[in-house]
Amino acid sequence: MPSRREFLKLSAFVSASALTPGFLRRLGPGQLPPGSKRLVIIQLSGGNDGLNTIVPFRDDRYYQARPALAIPAGEVLRISDELAFNPALAPLRELYDQGWMSILSQVGYPNPDRSHFRSMDIWHSASGSGEHWQTGWLGRYLDAACAAGAPAHTVLELDETLSLALRGEQISGLGLRDPQQLARSTRDPWIQALSRTEPQGPSELDFLYKTLTQTTASAEYLSSRLSVRGSAAEYPAQELGRKLKLIASLILSGAEPRVYYVSVPGFDTHVRQRGPHDRLLGQYAEAVAAFIRDLRQQGLLDDTLVLSFSEFGRRVAQNAGNGTDHGKANCLFLMGGKLRKPGLFNGLPDLRTLDDGDLAWQIDFRQIYASLLRDWLGADDEAVLRGRFGRLALV
């Protein structure tokens, strides 16, 4: 039974939403049923250097290729006889030891592209390397979910500029910095009045008014969920920590988003990489560890899966500026309480057989998407991905 404070909050929301026009489905103060699965995606933008993240410290080729950039065997964080982390990833050790982390090596796609923009678009749209799709895989997942009545905030990006990944044919996901801030703009009397207006005119006008009304309702809904119950855990103060805490609070409140999307910039480390890259990894690891710990304490880790990826890895050899240039396949992390194969999913990267100086792909990233869509979100992976990609035993 909700507390009185909770009840008042909910009823305040209901009365506000009662003003929305009848042509829209009413967004109730809904909650996902217990046990619903959520997917959290963390994008490392710029091309994270996977070889200085999960360090092949037993492989001489790594040290030969990176005389001034390799992490000395004495400095790495040894996890097992064969496996070592960049020492900046120390906060993730506990996750690994608990079996909450799968590391997939050499993830990529055929005919890789070394441009950030192109490669990121390929990861977002899930197209082949020679195709140009203007919708994203999560947007198409949303299209299907919306046909069944789900709201735009079913896929939620913690950013005001929406990524291609969340753009669908019929509808796009919602992007926001934080629900409170969006609600402040939608509570503007002008926006309120417009969102109660019945449009008259071409169908595009109808689409715009619907988007406006739904955004207003989503902002109210999400901020009301946040004030019902938030996370009290400690998170690092930086941006990723703030965003993951917000996500934990929404998950904890039972809010409707099924997929959360965040990105972290800065991984394009061409010059004097070591210091800045280690700092980025350290911030990432601290924020993710706090998030996983929080979910664990709230009993939600089994229902949450974190995927973190980058648009490509970097070249095996360092460059003249003690940094690395754009490469191809890369490692990718899955984190959560229900992993079918924790630890190294497919071994360490093979540095013997390179593709023009880069790691070659072994796992197509669309196999991972297919597995998560079908086995985690219960969606039709072949419809969303417009093709069949062999699923993996991930979750």
Partner 1 sequence: MSSERAHIRHLLFRAGFGPAWEDADALERMSLRDVQRRLFRDSEAPDPLPAPGGLGLPASLLAMTPEERQEAVRTQRLLIRGLNAAWLERMAASQGQLREKMTLFWHSHFACRLRHPALVLRQHNTLRQHALGSFADLLRAISKDPGMLQFLNSQQNTREQPNENFAREVMELFTLGRGHYTESDIREAARAFTGWGFDAQGEFVFRPRRHDYGEKTFRGRTGPFDGDDILDMLLEDPQTARFITRKLYRYFVHPEPAEAVVEEWAGQFYRSGYQIGELMETIFTSAHFYEARNLGARIKSPVEYLAGLMRLLNLRFGDAGSAFFVQRAMGQVLFDPPGVAGWPDGRAWIDGSALMLRLRLPLAMAYAAELDFQPKAEFAGDEDLSEAASREARRLNVRLDWTPILRQLGSVSPQRQLETAAAFCLQTPLPASVPSLLQIADPEQRYVRLLCTPEFQLC
Task: Note the residues at the interface with partner 1 (CB under 8 A).
Answer: 45-46, 115-118, 120-121, 130, 132, 134, 152, 159-164, 166-167, 170, 172-177, 181-182, 185-186, 188, 190-191, 193-194, 196-202, 204-205, 207-209, 211-212, 214-215, 218-219, 239, 263, 265, 268, 270-272, 320-321, 323
State in angstroms the smallest separation of the CB of 302 from partner 1.
31
State in angstroms the smallest separation of the CB of 331 from partner 1.
20
Would you state the structure tokens that stand for residue 379, as one six-digit string? 């969606």
Pick between residue 239 and residue 278 the one whose CB is nearest to partner 1.
239
DSSP 8-state symbol, 68:
T
Angle, helices 239-252 vs 203-228, to 10°: value is 90
State in angstroms the smallest separation of the CB of 275 from partner 1.
14
Helix, strand, or coil (residue 190): helix
Pick between residue 108 and residue 175 the one whose CB is nearest to partner 1.
175
Would you state the structure tokens that stand for residue 36, as one six-digit string? 């619903």
Pick between residue 92 and residue 182 the one whose CB is nearest to partner 1.
182
Residue tagged 């690395």 (tokens): 324
Would you state the structure tokens that stand for residue 357, as one six-digit string? 């100086």
State in angstroms the smallest separation of the CB of 146 from partner 1.
13
Pick between residue 173 and residue 336 the one whose CB is nearest to partner 1.
173
CA distance 87 to 209: 51
CA distance 343 to 366: 21
State in angstroms the smallest separation of the CB of 306 from partner 1.
20
Q: Of 154, 146, 196, nearest to 174 (Cα)?
A: 154
Q: Name residue 193's amino acid.
A: A
Torsion angle (degrees, nearest 10) of CA 206, 210, 211, 212: 100
State in angstroms the smallest separation of the CB of 205 from partner 1.
6
**Spatial contact of 136 and 166, defined as CB atoms under 8 Å apart:** yes
Pick between residue 118 and residue 386 the one whose CB is nearest to partner 1.
118
State in angstroms the smallest separation of the CB of 126 from partner 1.
15
DSSP 8-state symbol, 91:
G
Q: Of 335, 357, 324, 362, nearest to 346 (Cα)?
A: 362
Pick between residue 81 and residue 356 the one whose CB is nearest to partner 1.
356
Pick between residue 225 and residue 293 the one whose CB is nearest to partner 1.
225
Pick between residue 68 and residue 393 the one whose CB is nearest to partner 1.
68
Torsion angle (degrees, nearest 10) of CA 147, 365, 49, 77: 100
State in angstroms the smallest separation of the CB of 173 from partner 1.
7
